Chains A and B, each alone.
Chain A
């Protein structure tokens, strides 16, 4: 019997070999290659390159890198907070609406989700049309009619950062909503009924019943939206391109800029590795949270 199982395990390895090969070829090899380039002075311009730690030294000693990292953190923190709060509020409203058998909850869910399925580039272009200060800028047209002034959404450094955060929150709220909505549907109704009998207010039910029950889902949600936000590229590229100046230049844009605009392959690779390390830390945190959740279950 034991022999049969070990034979089956050997065969199982054979069956998953193609998957391992494909994953290695298309995921592991490129990552290793990028990692190796990050320890070189390679450029698309230069011929031969050599291995060096100077690329990381250069990256971490450059003032531009720290400004960009600060911008990235501001963008991520603000986006994650608002995506989570809005997603949570909408999912609570939806579940409550469904409990009260209100009409239109499915429509609301679909409408919010539509923002999530639109490609990032399209979102960037749509928000650009909305926010631009040009004569065809939709939002500024109404603001100008009401106040006589236009807001420099894309041309002032502060407003540009606010603009990419708003666009990203608009895009990412749906994801938080759907994850938390799924979690809320799993919370046993009896807990709410018991709390109500004990005289708990809506706020207390949220703090003492809903949030503790959703703890694991909330952690997963926060981890995933943090990763997604760190990796945001297409939407910002289409909306501001990282400008004005470097006001909206985040890690992914910096990486792209290094490789494709400045042809500095090693620097782009090093900044991509920094992004990878940040994402890995979040993933480790995510798995540890999952494990704690499973052990507590």
Chain B
């Protein structure tokens, strides 16, 4: 009788514990509602427990459950942000002092948030910071203060068909030579594709071909310079190169309607693309489309082809965590949480593996077999060392929009490279002078 009662009580206790653990974590709130440290956190849906992707959802649910069990004095309210206005709204909130305690901040607008973000140096050693990729360190640190935690990144690479191309082209000349040969052998094939539509993807995929030449979009004060001195020559080189890809027939004109890297996936799946500029995350997408074995057998990745040999550059982006609260207890709790789930070595490994992003810590690529033994990841890491984020000055969105239009106009034959560049420059400078 006593034994039966004990079993019953233990069972009830276990059920109780399970139920309480389960109710501690919901997609919009974690922790006890009585917990003294209450944090508000803004994040994108795909980075939250509301993510549609099951792998992300499972990882986050488990990670948040584990963390909140160890931190019973904390509760977190999640607020979903999305859409193109998310960063603009966040900046408005930060300016008016109503920002959440912690939020995701897009790496390329991070400089706009520096005045409102709290320094985090005391929570990290210099060794921990120097573990991050060089461009991440540069973006996170402002005037010696650690302003944000860059926890995912991405890179643009040249994907190529290994069964058609034995050596990927390093230069534009090699690309045209190879492209013409492939076009002759496979007349229906789209030899070389890239996004050239009116979208940010066009800039992040193609500007590395300008940057690698030594080109600059803005000077150190944020003044546009992409049409001044040598920069004009470099930009014209790029526009002429893009025009030639279409004129020579290796690139279809319809790339001017491609506004995101993933829009190329269907063409790739149809088997009529030989090379394309895309993002690292497309490996996972295309493994799903083609099957892991087929994709890995047929496709390889290489640095973007440049105007000449021995120069490299790639467009990189990613997301950071920025802390707005000045409360030390809240800050410490946020650091503990973000480290455990997204930013610490183990958290970063778990999150990037589940989500398909690239880690920002070099040690993660060495210490975890998933990255250390994966040739894709090692290749991406070697390419990302030449990563260049977009400049975070106020004029950048105007430059980007006008260069998107310039590229799209050149590719579709609306304007010559010179006309397109002159129009973009005129529009950008009008806006720059107005903003001054």
Q: Which residues of A contact B112 (CB under 8 A)?
A: 45
Given A243-B408, A244-B409, A46–B394 Cβ distance below 8 Å? yes
Given A244-B197, A257-B401, A262-B401, A58–B434 Cβ distance below 8 Å? yes
Tell me which of A43, A133, A260, A261 contacts B435 (CB under 8 A). Answer: A43
Given A45-B112, A155-B253, A135–B272 Cβ distance below 8 Å? yes
Q: Is B431 an interface residue (CB 8 A)?
A: yes
Question: Are B259 and A241 interface neighbours, CB within 8 A?
Answer: yes
Query: Shortest Cβ distance from B378 into chain A, in angstroms?
Result: 32
Give the one of B254, B408, B431 with max A CB within 10 A: B254
Q: Which residues of A contact B434 (CB under 8 A)?
A: 41, 54, 58
B264-295 interface with A by 8 A CB criterion: 266-267, 270, 272
Q: Is A240 an interface residue (CB 8 A)?
A: yes
Of all chain B residues, the one with the shortest Cβ separation from A61 is: B430
Given A44-B91, A241-B197, A241-B259, A134–B397 Cβ distance below 8 Å? no
Query: Shortest Cβ distance from B252 into chain A, in angstroms?
Result: 7
Given A54-B434, A135-B272, A244–B91 Cβ distance below 8 Å? no
Question: Are A261 and B397 interface neighbours, CB within 8 A?
Answer: yes
Taking beta carbons and an 8 Å cutoff, which residues of A are in contact with B? 41, 43-47, 54, 58, 62-64, 132-136, 152, 154-157, 160, 240-247, 257, 259-264
B392-419 interface with A by 8 A CB criterion: 394, 397-398, 400-401, 405, 408-409, 411-412, 414-415
Question: Are A157 and B412 interface neighbours, CB within 8 A?
Answer: yes
Given A43-B394, A154-B257, A155-B253, A134–B199 Cβ distance below 8 Å? no
Question: Are B254 and A134 interface neighbours, CB within 8 A?
Answer: yes
Tell me which of A46, A47, A243 contacts B198 (CB under 8 A). Answer: A243
Query: Shortest Cβ distance from A133 into chain B, in angstroms?
Result: 4
Query: Shortest Cβ distance from A119 into chain B, in angstroms?
Result: 17
- Apart from A156-B253, A241-B259, A244-B412: 12 A-B pairs, beta carbons within 8 A: A45-B91, A47-B95, A154-B254, A155-B254, A155-B256, A155-B257, A244-B198, A257-B401, A259-B85, A260-B85, A261-B397, A264-B398
> Could you tell me the distance between the alpha carbons of A64 and B405 in the complex, rounded to whole angstroms?
11
Taking beta carbons and an 8 Å cutoff, which residues of B are in contact with A? 83-85, 88, 91-92, 95, 112, 197-199, 252-257, 259, 266-267, 270, 272, 394, 397-398, 400-401, 405, 408-409, 411-412, 414-415, 423, 426-427, 430-431, 434-435
Q: Which residues of B contact A157 (CB under 8 A)?
A: 412, 414
Question: Are B92 and A46 interface neighbours, CB within 8 A?
Answer: no
Of all chain A residues, the one with the shortest Cβ separation from B90 is: A44
